[in-house]
A and B are shown apart, each in its own frame.
Chain A
Amino acid sequence: MNTPTTHAQPLGPLVDGFEVVIGFETHTQLTTQSKIFSRASTAFGAEANTQACAVDLALPGTLPVMNKMAVERAIEFGLAVGGEISERSVFARKNYFYPDLPKGYQISQFEIPVVVGGEVSFFLGETKKSVRLVRAHLEEDAGKSLHEDFVNQSGIDLNRAGTPLLEIVTEPDMRSSAEAVAYAKELHKIVTWIGICDGNMQEGSFRCDANVSVRRPGEPLGTRREIKNLNSFKFMQQAIDYEVRWQIEQLLDGHKIIQATVLFNPDTGETKSMRTKEDAAEYRYFPDPDLPPLVVDRHWVEEVRSRMGELPRDKATRFVRDFGLPEYDASALTQNRPSAHYFEEAVSLGAQAKLVSNWMMGELSRRLNVAHLDFAASPLSAQTLAALIVRIMDGTLSNHSAKTLLESLWQLDGSRESDAKAAQTLVDQFVDSLGLKAMNDTSALELIIDQVIAANPDNITQIKAGKDKAFNALVGQVMKASKGKANPQVVNDLLQAKLAAL
């Protein structure tokens, strides 16, 4: 829906002097047991047409009966993105002929959708972006046409027909493929977090269409082309980048862009215009006489809200407010439930929030990524991390030793320890056995410092000349001599004192 927008547009990077404008339409399959208008199962992967009942096949005389859970899923989404839940919305028929569309029309929502407005915010690198939603409406999925196996024929499997979908439509607020992908990832996070969609992109549970156009800055919106069925974040970026380049080349060669629906071919990496039902469509929408208006009373909305629990964006805000975390950290920690839970667990055990955040986003994430694990499956429990951080906080461990400790804990099964006391004991035993205890005994340190000063007369002259680098070099040597066990702060103070006394 490339409606001109009055909203202050985030200035995106220009490509050959063109501004890229992207809007999204995402079809999310809702997690329900039965279909939106029939009592057939929505389970994926059944044998062809064994889950297509009389209603799904549009056999003569059949009628639709609405699934309450599908509506509830839509309400949950509306609340999650701060949209408005329509008290009264209408199901309409979208009429067109296609073999995977059994009734010859799709039951969807046209004039009055169940969710209006809302917003999706996320970080693009360090910058916060936010994309406005136009609407989210309920509709039924179509079946599948299988082109292999048959000569000059297609086989129609209607198992998927009637699976509940929530189509989420944005304003054309995105200004780069990177931003588009970041939006899609954020949306994916939201729908899976609140559990209205399983997010399985291979199985088509989360399908994105991108409306792409380009224009010279300040000009009205250009003609858009819609890239259909982007079912992987990787292809999404490639497809949009290719499409943008293609459009700009067309314009630079003096051609006009003709509105079209295109498909991305991962093998060639190109987008190609397709001839489909979508083109030059005259859908003859009208309210479905088989379905009275959908009424969602406020009590129901409140009831759903109370059952939903804290939403990711609320959690992030709270992390900033209560723990003084930077927004960037907060948003990163709330990427998914396990990481947010891991963070809260560690902090609740007295570990300092920013330290927990740093260790989670740095060392731990790096290791988890390599092992393809999430925080729920981390070999190092939140309790163990907390115990380790506590020892950093009380000066027992220097950062350097803490890393060494983590390395050995990572290998160890006991590190999954979920009992805080036991975890602390474990960590402390390792600190001792590995001899990682920081050297806070000043007399021993002073000895080392004296030796270092004696061994580096030229540094001293430089320091006297006000060269900080020379000072840092000395600190480094002292740390080295202490095998990293010295507490850098302490070293600093003592060294300062000594030099002053010289």
Chain B
Amino acid sequence: MSAIHELSVKALQQALQTQQLSARQVTEHFLARARNHGASLAHLASDMAPQSPSPSTPGSKASCGAFLSMNEAHSLKAADESDRRIQAGQARALEGVPIAHKDIFVTQDFPTTAGSKILAGYRSPFNATVVSRLQSAGMVSLGKLNCDEFAMGSANENSAFGVVHNPWDHTRIAGGSSGGSAAAVAMGLTPAATGTDTGGSIRQPAAFCGITGIKPTYGRASRYGMIAYASSLDQAGPMARSAEDCASLLSVLCGPDIERDSTSLDIPSADFTLGLNQDLQGLRIGLPKEFFAKGLSDDVRDSVRAALDALVRLGAQLVDIELPKTELSIPVYYVLAPAEASSNLSRFDGVKFGFRAQGYKDLDEMYLKTRSEGFGAEVQRRIMVGAYVLSHGYYDAYYVQAQKIRRMISDDFQRAFSQCDVIAGPVAPTVAWKLGEKSSDPLSNYLADIFTLPASLAGLPGMSVPCGFGEGHMPVGLQLIGNYLKESQLLNVAHRYQGVSDWHTQLPGSAA
């Protein structure tokens, strides 16, 4: 049997249920790896949350900076409980399988920072619904994973607690905002992780780190306990090695949260593993010509094309479609998301929780200092943009106009889905770029989101599937977009593809 950290969620599940492995054994193994290879550069993995941000220096090969906090005693306690249940024949769906959570989900057993100094050391009195769902399915939480501050970023260079390094090349970005989740899975520090996707934050880092991730239909996973960035776009989703693993995690993670989240859809979850072996015969895969236009680098285009050919060999047929507003999705997203963010982040004022600056002479200065010292540059930039587009005289021209174009973009998708069943294309125009390459120029980061933004604005399910390697032997991701509630179909296509490809099974040297 291969090393524990090379096992898939499914393999671990079986090994645990058949008691070939104990939950404690598995948990200790991953905790040790997380300790040795996952420590954020801000601090060595400890039971404490980072208290102060640190400069992002290039990472040693040993550590990718994915973990922000751990609580080994707690994790082992949970593992022992799982072992007890397994022995008692009371094992739950994912009993004893470890998982780590993006630090945007609030947790009772670990500090929650959202990658921001303003929440350093914050302790939540409750668990995010997504976290409790996975825990009540028997999963053992290993700790919290690094991310861009308040999930704002595409490179995980905006965390107050250090950058995340790409396990395939430590001089490159892991992608964002769920960079810690992607890197931790790719490096075998955890078999699975939670992520959140607002404009591509699950799909893009999954692609850059060579793993599989899915963002369900907006409203399918509860947003309760997920620190809000852009409320009308934020969606939680699983990140793991394979579509099969994502399917079993997604089955647990989805479902209505009537009591806590007014935007959650009243649609029951499903066992997404059941639909994984459908024949692709006659499946119509739509290729938006805008996704293959200029700006798409050749290495990415070639890998995506090759994947499409493989799908054709599996019986699918390719259809040319149009998503004419694709380019508009960038300005539309970067008006709407900051607008909502500027309001969502007003609660961080140094009054009720988290960081409060020192040395203020009055209330107003307390607000000003706390927020300027507590928020990083990118967050402050987006708050400014958001406050501006909502302010008097600009609201209609920017915010309302963007909301209207958002509907047009969604309608374009519905038109497209009359011609095809699934939409496919690249996740990002290029492979992961070098650390610091774009950090000086926010706009170039924004432009790189072009292929993930449309599905986010429309609230459609989307996923990233490893489909090869490009420049610098960096992973390339194939993006699949389905119609509302068609997660099962997406996972099926991805699973069939992974049945005839082995990109998702390859591990970076750092995972050894």
Which A residues lie at the B interface, using CB under 8 A?
54, 57-66, 93, 95, 97, 99, 102-105, 156, 158, 282, 284-286, 289-292
- In the assembly, what is the distance between CA of A229 and CA of B457, in Å? 43
Interface digits, B342-363 against A, CB 8 Å rule (1 contact, 0 not)? Answer: 1101110101110000000001
- Do the beta carbons of B124 and A97 come within 8 Å of each other? no
**Cβ–Cβ contact B392 & A282, under 8 A:** yes
* A-B pairs, 8 with minimum CB distance: A104-B346, A284-B390, A289-B231, A61-B225, A289-B232, A58-B347, A61-B106, A60-B227
Q: A286 CA to B225 CA in the complex, in Å?
A: 23
Q: Is the CB of B353 within 8 A of A60?
A: yes
Does A290 contact B231, Cβ atoms closer than 8 Å?
Answer: yes
B260, A63: Cβ atoms closer than 8 Å:
yes
- What is the CA–CA distance of A335 and B345 in the complex, to the nearest angstrom? 48
Question: Complex Cα distance A61/B231, Å?
Answer: 11
A sample of 20 more A-B contacts (CB under 8 A), given A57-B352, A60-B227, is: A54-B125, A57-B353, A58-B352, A59-B352, A61-B224, A61-B225, A93-B343, A95-B343, A102-B347, A103-B346, A104-B345, A105-B343, A158-B352, A282-B391, A284-B395, A286-B343, A286-B390, A290-B231, A290-B262, A291-B262
| B494 contacts partner chain A, Cβ-Cβ < 8 Å | no
- Contact yes or no, B260 A59, CB < 8 A: no
Report Cα–Cα, A49/B177, bound state, in Å: 35
A103 close to B347 (CB less than 8 A): yes
- Is B349 a contact partner of A60 (Cβ separation < 8 A)? no
Q: Judging by beta carbons under 8 Å apart, are B262 and A66 in contact? A: yes
B231 contacts across to A, CB distance below 8 A: 289-290
Residue pairs across A and B with CB atoms within 8 Å: the count is 99
Our pick among B105, B124, B126, B263 for the contact of A289 (Cβ within 8 Å) is B263
8 pairs from A and B in contact (CB 8 Å cutoff)? A58-B352, A59-B106, A61-B124, A97-B349, A99-B351, A286-B395, A289-B230, A290-B262
Complex CA distance for A64 and B228, rounded to whole angstroms: 13
In the complex, chain B residues 191-236 whose Cβ is within 8 Å of any chain A Cβ: 223-228, 230-232
Contacts of A65 in B (CB 8 A): 259-262
Cβ of A156: which chain B residues have Cβ within 8 Å of it? 351
Q: Which residues of B contact A61 (CB under 8 A)?
A: 105-106, 124, 126, 128, 224-228
Complex: A97 Cα to B224 Cα, angstroms: 24
| B347 neighbours in A (Cβ, 8 Å) | 58, 60, 102-104
A95 to B125, CA, bound (A): 26
Chain B residues, CB < 8 A from A59: 106, 124-126, 352-353
Residues on B with beta carbons closer than 8 Å to the beta carbon of A99 = 349, 351, 363
Q: Are B114 and A60 in contact (CB under 8 A)?
A: yes
Q: How far is the CB of B456 from chain A (nearest CB, A)?
A: 14
Q: Which of B360-416 contact A (CB under 8 A)?
A: 363, 367, 387, 390-392, 395, 399
Docked-complex contact B390 and A95, CB < 8 angstroms:
yes
Contacts of A102 in B (CB 8 A): 347, 351-352
Is A63 a contact of B224 with CB atoms below 8 Å? yes
Taking the complex as formed, is B340 at the interface, i.e. its CB lies under 8 A from any CB of chain A?
A: yes
What is the chain A residue whose CB lies nearest that of B340?
A289
Please, which residues of chain B bring their CB within 8 A of the CB of A97? Answer: 346, 349, 367
* Residues of chain A contacted by B391 (CB below 8 angstroms): 282, 284
A260 to chain B, nearest CB (A): 20
* Interface flags, B334-345, vs A, CB<8A=1, else 0: 000001101101
B178 CB–A CB distance under 8 Å = no
B349 touches A104 (CB 8 A): yes
- Which residues does chain A contribute within 8 Å of B79, judged by CB atoms? none
Q: Which of A66, A102, A286 has the most CB of B within 10 A?
A: A286
Chain B residues with CB under 8 Å of A64's CB are: 262
A105–B340 CA distance with the chains assembled, in angstroms: 12
Q: Which residues from chain A contact B125 at a C-beta distance below 8 Å? A: 54, 59
Instruction: Provide the bound-state CA to CA distance between A99 and B339, in Å.
Output: 22
Measured CB to CB, the closest approach of chain A to B112, in angstroms, equals: 7
Could you say which residues of chain A place their CB within 8 Å of the CB of B106? 59-61
